[in-house]
Chain A
Amino acid sequence: MSGQHASRPLSWRHRLLRGTLIALVMALMAVLVLLPLAAVFIEALSKGAAAFMDVLAQPETVSAIKLTLLVAVLAVPSNLVFGVAAAWAMTRFEFRGKALLGAFIDLPFSVSPVVAGLVYVLLFGAQGWFGPWLTDHGVTIIFAVPGLVLATVFITLPFVARELISLMQAQGSEEEEAARTLGASGWQMFFRVTLPNIRWALLYGVLLCNARAMGEFGAVSVVSGHIRGLTTTMPLEVEMRYNEYDYMGAFAVASLLGLLALLTLVVKALLEWRYGDELAARATRGH
């Protein structure tokens, strides 16, 4: 597109419109995205690098980082397995309720995270449907790590599945059928044919899933109970420090999440640049 436009002389009105639009978008991006991101890092380092490192070394911070990693380590692989299974079911089988399954996979994107958290409290909380039974059997879900993991799994459910469904739809099942006629077992077919074909899309989905799992606030906030050192993840730690007027500490923890976001962005851009054709579901077939 841009090449075609460049070769044709534009009228001054066109040029003005184009310039204004670009400037407007740039200014918005600067005010809404870049400025806050820069503010996070500036504020985090406002009392010097030593104070910054001091905050990170505090036991509450260390525990929040560990908990965030633990939740991600549990939630992301479960969604990886679920995502592959769901994508397989959606693209390789015909069954009743397929459209409904597709809608349910997308549900976490349309439900407010707070509502998701509250539902888990209703189900597993001390006064909830299954709460008393669980308490009798010594299982605590709400205000504990299992609740955090459950809420995070729910919120990040669609990332891997959605990424894979569109790709596997476009690729079709012929290669898998070919593997079967060549004597491959189900697992051989999956690991030697399906997985290599979807690996970059899978990685892409996992990346987005991880970023959200570590950054999730709403749903996690409801089920956490904010017990310092036990059930606070990094986003919750940021909020608690902020509420305690420890602005510098809040921004120091927030800067770690900011770094995670930047890292995710870089890897995402790399994936899109290198394997864009395999991600965009433009399956190359012998037509």
Chain B
Amino acid sequence: MTLELSHLHRRYAGFAALDDVSLRIEPGEFLALLGPSGSGKTTLLRILAGLDYPDSGSVRQNDRDLLAVDARQRKVGLVFQHYALFRHLTVSENVAFGLRIRPRKSRPSRAEINERVERLLKRVQLDDLGKRYTSQLSGGQRQRVALARALAVEPDLLLLDEPFGALDAQVRVALRRWLRNLHEELGLTSVFVTHDQEEALELADRVAVMNRGRIEQIGTPEAIYQQPATPFVCEFIGKNNRIPLQRANGVLTGGQRQLGADPWPGNAVGSAIGYVRPEHLLVSSAPSQGGWAAQLRHIYLAGGVAHLELDVPALGQVLEADMSSDEVAQRGLQPGQALVVQPRLITAFPLNAQGEADAAARHVLQPQAAP
């Protein structure tokens, strides 16, 4: 089942929740909508579920106009952020709800419903809790009841709103892996909303990064992380050092060091912004071309990885560089030490006269290529 969303607009009093969103959801894929709060991701999910409607634009499902279909006929399973379980029903009754309310013609027999509920509860590992009320369950258990309830009606599309948002960290990671396995078993097209990039990058086949009602970038988790397409994605996904760059006479410089040829010839003079990931900063003790003199301010040891805080006077800012904790120990790095840092990979965007970055003119530099 392919879903084709085109040019969706949705305005709420005063602000645009969706601003010209187009998106194609492939059959069987696990898609994450990732963005900060207010980026429009939940609105998009609710439109897919039929609980909200766009002001303009279309949603087509295999050449069928999905927006013309009422929520109750869409065959979409929705798992709410706070689960929205029916508090007056038991776990089993919650799961059976979608089957029991069917008109008599299409309703399975009582025995069939019971059997299906049992099978689903087994699948979500709650087979001995069917008679409990949902208020007697933990967060992770409620989440799985909500999932079983949504799956009971055999939806074509599964939607999850912040599926792990209300859980504590340990349960979250376990449930995440479990959900990924379940998705692979069922092969059901699934879309989930999250503000947690780790969750999105680990779980999804593809990630759509949203900001202010627009999709900034859509791609595989690797592409999103390795080739961020816009300044927003650079700043939102992972850590990035933001470095001001200058363009003059066909040369791009940063912190008085030449980084390479100006990738945007045409306008002779101007400025640009560059993003360098901590793992793409080469830290050495010997001065080398293209490197900035730096002073090691602090070493944060986080298990196998060490984060180095480096004061770079040429840039007037502090950069963060990552290296393995072993390497820090081998080289005997100490706070206060004088070092040289060199960017190996810079994602750069030219700035216009108003200081706005031009995402379309994105350029990736690899300064270490120069000897």
Contact = CB atoms under 8 A, between A and B. Distances in A.
A183 interface: yes
Main secondary structure of the interface of A (DSSP, over half): helix
A197 B86 CA distance: 9
Contacts of B76: 181
A192 interface: yes
Report which residue of B85, B97, B142 has the largest number of chain A beta carbons within 10 angstroms of its beta carbon. Answer: B97
Contacts of B88: 196-197
A193 B86 contact: yes
A284 B135 contact: yes
A4 interface: no
Given A286-B139, A286-B142, A178 B102 contact: no
Contacts of A197: 87-88
B166 A182 contact: no
A182 B97 contact: yes
A149 to B, nearest CB: 34
B292 interface: no
Size category of the B interface is 20 to 34
A216 to B, nearest CB: 34
Contact of A179 (B49, B74, B97, B142): B97
Contacts of B80: 174, 177-178
Contacts of B102: 183
Interface string B34-74: 00000000000000011100000000000000000001111
A185 interface: yes
A287 interface: yes
A188 B87 CA distance: 16
Given A286-B139, A286-B142, A184 B82 contact: no
Report which residue of B51, B77, B149 has the largest number of chain A beta carbons within 10 angstroms of its beta carbon. Answer: B51
A285 interface: yes
A174 B102 CA distance: 20
Contacts of B85: 175, 178, 286
Contacts of B84: 174-175, 177-178
A86 to B, nearest CB: 23
A180 interface: yes
Contact of B50 (A175, A178, A181, A184): A181
B153 A285 contact: no
Nearest to B139: A286
25 contacts: A174-B82, A175-B85, A177-B51, A177-B80, A178-B78, A178-B86, A179-B101, A181-B49, A181-B51, A181-B72, A181-B74, A181-B76, A181-B77, A182-B97, A182-B153, A183-B73, A183-B98, A184-B101, A192-B97, A196-B88, A197-B87, A284-B135, A286-B83, A286-B139, A287-B82
Interface of B: 49-51, 71-74, 76-78, 80, 82-88, 97-98, 101-102, 135, 139, 142, 149-150, 152-153, 166
